[in-house]
Structure 1
Amino acid sequence: MANLSADHQLTAVERQLLQNAAELVPYLQNYATKIDEDRHIPDEVIQRVSEAGLFKLGTLKKYGGHEVSIRAMVEIISEVAKGNGSVGWVVQIINGNNYTASLSLPSEVLDSVFNQDEEVRFCSVLGPRKAVMNKVEGGYFVEEGFWGFGSGSKHATHALLNLLDAESMQESKGFMLAVVPMSEVTIVDDWYTMSLKGSASNSLKMKNVFIPEQFVVRQDMIDMDSSPVELKGLDRYKPYVNVISAITTGISAILGLARGAVEYFVEKAPHKGITMTIHTSQANVGHIQYKVGLAAMKVESAHLHISRTIDNLEYHVQSGEKFTLKEFAQLQTDIAYAAMLCWEAVDMLMAESGGSVIADSNRLSGIFRDIRGGANHALTTASTGLELYGRVLMGLPPQHMITLGAAAHFVK
């Protein structure tokens, strides 16, 4: 399926990375059963993805990364997800987190983390189930912490963990992010799911861990002493890091899964009949043609909403003009609505695929399971996003933590 108007907006390097991702698709599809059965991505697959440069999309150029645009990140990662949902999800999470870290952390911390031979990969959890920590001399002491779900943690070198519980987040309207080497984190083997099985999104825990103060940053204070118009270069993106996270760690894999579903159905339809009917080819049946057209339009409409989000974000970043509350709420709702459209498209194709689609080995079955889990992520849940937009349109205060934090600082 064409990427609508995205290709001409990518640089030569970004187009090459997109091609690298496309070449991996058949390879990843062949690993689908093993990935689900093992509940993690095999090392050889991680190595192939790394060799293709696909773990360095969100890493700054000064640290050997590609520092691609947000638009390019969506396109490249969605291509990976066409090969396998779990791999796409992990690639999405690691790149989004590396980008978030680059926008959030002081330069001296970034230098200490990224200036090493090992490829740096961040996992993250922004909503702790338990976080008991105290401010001590020189930093913070985490007595006990439990975070779920740590997607990509099995393949990460560092974790970006929020040290504030839900009540503290509501009070501060932001996060307290700590950079923690994975050697200090215990991965809990509790990821037994129907969806994104290979993402190994296990829970993470820490007990009696000291974190130096320079490795902890409050997101609600990032560059808020400066207005967006005073910031330069990549720093201009810093005030918007939370909503950027919704794009870079939320929607790309969902879009790719839906694109892959349409392509797979279209590929199989000419050679698949409809049991108990005279139809020998789904492709020749009117109502199937209608459903394929509708599903494809839903996916393409989702891409248009994502593109609108990126366009609106880029305009405000470059101009320094503040968002209205409605505009900012629309950013978040566009992403959640896009996820809903993608899920609806896959669900529609699933319903027209006959009884054989329930087999675990059926590619569409895997896509169906993976996209259902992905669309339930807190950053892409449609009901939350639509509630947010409806509240703002009706003059009510937003209920979403990201919008609440933004309204306090850079929304007019």
Structure 2
Amino acid sequence: MSTTTVPTREQLVSRASELAPLLRKNADVAETDRRLPDETIEALGQAGFYRMRVPIRYGGYECDTRTLVEVATELGRADGSAAWTASVYWIPTWMACTFPDEVQDEVFATPDVRVCGTLSPSAMATPVDGGVLVDGKWGFISGGPHSHWQVVIAVLVGSDSEPYPIMALVPMSDLLKVDDWHVAGLRGTGSISTVAKNVFIPQRRILPLPAVLQGQYASALNAESPIYRSPLLPVACASSVGTAVGLAKGALDIFMSRLPNRKITYTAYDSQRTAPLTHLQVAEATMKIDEAEFHAHRLATLVDTKGVEDAEWKLEERAQARADMGAACRLAKEAVEILASASGGSSIYNDVPIQRFLRDIQAVNLHALMHPNTNFELYGRILCELEPNTLYI
């Protein structure tokens, strides 16, 4: 049993705040290189952020999702790509904890292991003796360049059963990395594609995805831990939503820091701070950030409370989790758009970070799992007493 001292939520949030100067310094390099610099990756590890969803017996912290939200918020205030990459690592790391304990022994043998992944079934698996052979390609693998393992999803096609999706763990050394991350937002996340060519995966590292999505996990030692009791989708929602809130808060930080020295060109206002329009914009953006944080915290509270109580999840609660995430993303985006619009023509220069925050929050809102409209439609469908039209709930 590990003797690791588990830091408190306040200590971890403080560590995130202390990293802000480094993250800001490296943000432009991350954009240019389209991946986080090694210095940033190492700093996130030294702060303990890769351990937040690792079982205590391996030296992890087993943090609840409210802690994830608050840490990601602080990281996102400085650099959205750093926050996004850290939060994406939390999700596949948690997914690794649903596998048999012997598999976890293998994965967590690497100190500060980094696990990337996806939920998209964009590969095919063929049964063979002792496991499967997988061929296919997965996109948007955030943090892929620095990862040790990847959680992959593939469709298993056998001769004696209907095709169904599986979830598996693969060492990154078994996969081909494709440097194709040329994008407008979240450029520093290194969200490359990975390819499997006839990759063998042993049976012990394979789980049926439908069972996982319903909360049926294979770990015996994690079964009593509250953080490993909830369904995957609510956990994923709560793990990633803090980045959106952080980007909105970061945009407000930037706007307010520039405000004292800005005037409104072609008007009589020598100081933008004295214009009534500015007062309305700052107030509206701040209220939207507050509302976004409310939804993020309500989501985390739901996930954490259900885990502690070991209570069954209602279908409406699962849909609400996705809706809360969608609401937080939309409100954060609206807040950043207000602040960016109020920042004037000078804000489009690369050395004014608010343009990066705008591109990053737009990218977050386009993510298939985080898209507000997709999540609201699902929630409304359940509220109207219809069956969900997706496994991802």
TM, length-normalised to structure 2: 0.91
**Equivalent in the alignment of 2:3:** none
- CA contact 1:128–1:146 (8 Å) conserved in 2: no
Structure 2: stretches of 5+ with no match in the other structure: 1-5, 157-161
**Equivalent in the alignment of 2:324:** 334
Distance 1:347 1:401 in 2: 33
**Equivalent in the alignment of 1:135:** 127
Among 51, 68, 77, the residue aligned to 1:73: 68
State yes or no: 1:205 paired with 2:195. yes
Q: Aligned residues: percent identity?
A: 32
**Equivalent in the alignment of 2:104:** 110
Distance 2:99 2:181 in 1: 29
Query: CA separation of 1:155/1:366 partners in 2, compared to 1, >3 Å: closer, same or farther?
Result: same
Distance 2:216 2:335 in 1: 44
Query: CA separation of 1:69/1:225 partners in 2, compared to 1, >3 Å: closer, same or farther?
Result: closer
**Equivalent in the alignment of 2:138:** 147
State yes or no: 1:237 paired with 2:228. yes
Distance 1:175 1:378 in 2: 18
When structure 1 is superposed on structure 2, of 216-225 and 290-299 the one drifting more is: 216-225
**Equivalent in the alignment of 2:159:** none
Distance 2:9 2:295 in 1: 21
Distance 1:46 1:236 in 2: 25
Q: Deviations over 1:182-233 (max 9, x none)?
A: 100111111000111111101110101110000111243248679xxxx952
Among 111, 121, 124, the residue aligned to 2:117: 124
Q: Deviations over 1:82-132 (max 9, x none)?
A: 111111111111122212222x2111110121123x431100011143x12
TM, length-normalised to structure 1: 0.87
Partner amino acid, structure 2, of 1:15:
E
Structure 1 position 53, deviation (Å): 1.5
Among 210, 218, 226, the residue aligned to 1:220: 210
**Equivalent in the alignment of 1:279:** 269
Query: CA separation of 1:317/1:69 partners in 2, compared to 1, >3 Å: closer, same or farther?
Result: closer
State yes or no: 1:59 paired with 2:54. yes
Structure 1 position 316, deviation (Å): 2.9
Structure 1 position 135, deviation (Å): 1.0
- CA contact 2:215–2:232 (8 Å) conserved in 1: no
Structure 1 position 328, deviation (Å): 2.3
Distance 2:113 2:227 in 1: 24
**Equivalent in the alignment of 1:16:** 11
State the secondary structure of the residue aligned to 2:91.
Answer: helix
Tell me the C-alpha RMSD between the 2 structures: 2.2
- CA contact 2:242–2:296 (8 Å) conserved in 1: no
Among 289, 293, 299, the residue aligned to 2:289: 299
Structure 1 position 235, deviation (Å): 6.0
Partner amino acid, structure 1, of 2:132:
Y
When structure 1 is superposed on structure 2, of 390-399 and 315-324 the one drifting more is: 315-324
- CA contact 1:271–1:280 (8 Å) conserved in 2: no
When structure 1 is superposed on structure 2, of 153-162 and 39-48 the one drifting more is: 39-48
State yes or no: 1:163 paired with 2:154. yes
Distance 1:67 1:317 in 2: 12
State the secondary structure of the residue aligned to 2:105.
Answer: helix
Query: CA separation of 1:262/1:175 partners in 2, compared to 1, >3 Å: closer, same or farther?
Result: farther
When structure 1 is superposed on structure 2, of 385-394 and 321-330 the one drifting more is: 321-330
Structure 1 position 339, deviation (Å): 0.5
Among 352, 359, 366, the residue aligned to 1:369: 359
Partner amino acid, structure 1, of 2:229:
K
- CA contact 1:262–1:346 (8 Å) conserved in 2: yes
- CA contact 1:255–1:339 (8 Å) conserved in 2: yes
Query: CA separation of 1:141/1:319 partners in 2, compared to 1, >3 Å: closer, same or farther?
Result: same
Structure 1 position 360, deviation (Å): 2.1
Q: Deviations over 1:46-77 (max 9, x none)?
A: 11221121222212221112221110011112
State yes or no: 1:350 paired with 2:340. yes
When structure 1 is superposed on structure 2, of 147-156 and 91-100 the one drifting more is: 91-100
**Equivalent in the alignment of 1:311:** 301
State yes or no: 1:255 paired with 2:250. no
When structure 1 is superposed on structure 2, of 52-61 and 187-196 the one drifting more is: 52-61
Q: Deviations over 1:345-403 (max 9, x none)?
A: 00111111111111122110010011111121112100101111221222222233322
How many residue pairs end up in the alignment? 379
- CA contact 1:187–1:204 (8 Å) conserved in 2: yes
- CA contact 1:139–1:212 (8 Å) conserved in 2: yes
Q: Deviations over 1:245-297 (max 9, x none)?
A: 1221x312111111111121122112211111121222221111111111111
Distance 2:261 2:237 in 1: 39
Structure 1: stretches of 5+ with no match in the other structure: 1-10, 166-170, 404-412
Distance 1:214 1:345 in 2: 46
- CA contact 1:100–1:245 (8 Å) conserved in 2: no
Partner amino acid, structure 2, of 1:157:
H
**Equivalent in the alignment of 1:3:** none
State yes or no: 1:381 paired with 2:375. no
Distance 1:394 1:328 in 2: 15
Q: Deviations over 1:310-329 (max 9, x none)?
A: 22233333334433322321
When structure 1 is superposed on structure 2, of 151-160 and 34-43 the one drifting more is: 34-43
